[in-house]
Copies of this chain bind each other. A is one copy, B any other.
Amino acid sequence: MPALPDKQTAFIDWYLAVVDAATLTDKRYGVKGMNVWTPYGFLARRHLDAVLVREIEATGSSPVEFPALIPANEFAKEKEHIKGFDAEVYWVTKGGLSELDIPLILRPTSETAMYPIFALWVRSHRDLPLNVYQVVNVFRYETKTTRPFLRVREIHFFEEHTCQVDEAAADLRVRSNLDAFGRMAKAFALPYVAVRRPEWDKFAGAFYSIAFDIPVGAGRTLQIGSVHHYRENFSGPYGIQYETTDGTQRLVHQTTFGLSERLLGAIIAVHGDAKGAVFPTAVAPYEVVIVPIPSAGAGPGPEATATEVVDRLGRHGRRVHLDSGDERPGAKYYRWELQGVPVRLEIGRREAAARTATAVDRLGRKQTVSLDTLEGEVDAFLEEFDRALYDRALATFRDAFRVVPSMDGLKEFAHVGIVGWCGKEECGHAIETAVEGGLLGTPESELPLAPGAPVACISCGSGTDVRWALAGRPL
């Protein structure tokens, strides 16, 4: 196995090599940008999804599933939305041996599948709020270079859609979603910024959009999710209205919250290192691998002890894997480090005799664990690992931003820039040109730096209505 490319200087090459080496996906499928979820990658996705489901259901959202195919006429009802997606949808034009009367599109997102039904579900104020979500695959005919998990044509997708009584209630749902994402990101040990996108970069059909961005080195950023307020932009065309307590009809205000398999890409991109992938415990296909170290000698064998450890941790609810293959132990360590398993337990003859195991976490910390207190010690060791992983990610995150006081400073800049901006679109575009990237927007979460109040727009120099904005190079 050749060494991985250098993460700092060859990020994308490093990323692609890690995804391959960790056997998370198989890219050899016959359609570009549509990859195979291998068993190992699928398990990571399963555990990632479980976090999303747990956190969104804790906020009172219910699971649903709408069809994958959308009639072309429903798709066309909201004009901005169709403009945004027209060039990237797949068209189903034939069923069996005959042309379809009405062509169908494969959902690129599900507004236009759900909202005609929402119009039937919502009748009265008693039906509100309507908070539902689904975890499904969506399809986009992506023309840019595809990358596993980061940009694909069949996308594993999480989408919440809600209907609220009015704009203020929808604002509150947006806040609740931001909080829920905070809890999800914590489980993934991912520091991020929430950023209100500028007008020209909103979701197609949105009133406003707040996205979650993470820096991935050299000023590059990755959008890992977003929350949108639609106001009445969709409820109007789709006729989603309700009878208020005083008997009048009103359109609902809507919100959406979208996440995708890109989160898995982000976990690899942020936590991975020179040794390969690193999974936080919540997502790891296996939390613990047990490696018995065979050797000749008297006393209890390592294999029997390894089996006991696997059984006990499994009963304790841990995802454990016994690696009893015939490779030498060093080759096993190397492979499980590549695959990002949080903790391995080494059990040799010495450990077996002493009723212990040697625990080593993916960040290199080592500790002897007594079998008498195995479950509690492994729990604590994993907890410390997650904390250390988050701390490492946070240090890198904090170092990825710089306050930039002048347009010149943005050129060939290796950080995400924090810049003063007057809010005018022309200045925004000037900043985008200077950074050779995007004006990500204005922060909605605490900045990793505390730069005080902005003084002037970095572009026009105006001191009126200046706010901080982030400038970076979206991947």
Residues on A lying within 8 angstroms of B by beta carbon are: 26, 28-31, 34-39, 42-43, 46, 62-71, 74, 86-97, 104, 106, 113, 116-117, 120-121, 132, 137, 139, 141, 143, 154
Contacts and interface: CB of A to CB of B under 8 A. Distances in A.
Contacts of A43: 63
A92 B106 CA distance: 9
Given A117-B26, A120-B28, A143 B96 contact: yes
Contact of A91 (B93, B113, B137): B93
A91 B104 CA distance: 10
Task: Tell me the dominant secondary structure on chain A's binding face.
Answer: mixed
How many copies of the chain does the oligomer comprise?
A: 2
Given A62-B39, A117-B26, A117-B36, A31 B67 contact: yes
B87 A137 contact: no
Contact of A34 (B37, B38, B39, B69): B69
Q: Which of A34, A95, A121 has the most CB of B within 10 A?
A: A95
Given A29-B66, A39-B132, A69-B154, 8 more contacts: A30-B71, A31-B69, A36-B67, A87-B97, A88-B96, A89-B95, A93-B94, A96-B143
Contact of A46 (B26, B46, B63, B141): B63
A93 B98 CA distance: 13
B92 A64 contact: no
Contact of A74 (B30, B42, B90, B97): B30
Contact of A36 (B46, B64, B69): B64
B117 A154 contact: no
Contact of A71 (B31, B67, B137): B31
